[in-house]
Amino acid sequence: MTKLLPALSVLFAVIATAVPWGLPADATFILPLVVVMMVFCWRAIPGTALPPLGAAGLGLLADLMSGGPLGYWALMCLIAATVGDRPGSLGQGRDFGALWLIWIALVSALGVFGWLLASAYYFRWIDWWPIAFGAVATVVLFPVVLYGLLWIRNGRIGPARNVIFRGSS
User: How big is the CA angle at 162 (ends 161 and 165), to the nearest 5 degrees?
Assistant: 85
The confidence band for 89, taking pLDDT boundaries of 50, 70 and 90, is: low
pLDDT score, position 2: 72
Instruction: Return the percentage of the chain with pLDDT > 90, whole number.
Output: 63
Is residue 108 pLDDT above 60, yes or no? yes
Q: Which residue type sits at 17?
A: T
Helix 30-44 and helix 96-122, axial crossing angle in degrees, nearest 10: 140
Is residue 33 pLDDT above 60, yes or no? yes
Q: Kindly report, residue by residue over 36-73, the tens digit of the pLDDT.
A: 999 999 999 888 889 999 999 999 999 999 888 999 99
**Average pLDDT, integer, range 104-125:** 96
**In terms of Cα–Cα distance, which of 82, 83, 86, 80 is closest to 62?**
80
69, 121 Cβ separation under 8 angstroms: yes
Average pLDDT, the chain: 87
The confidence band for 165, taking pLDDT boundaries of 50, 70 and 90, is: very low
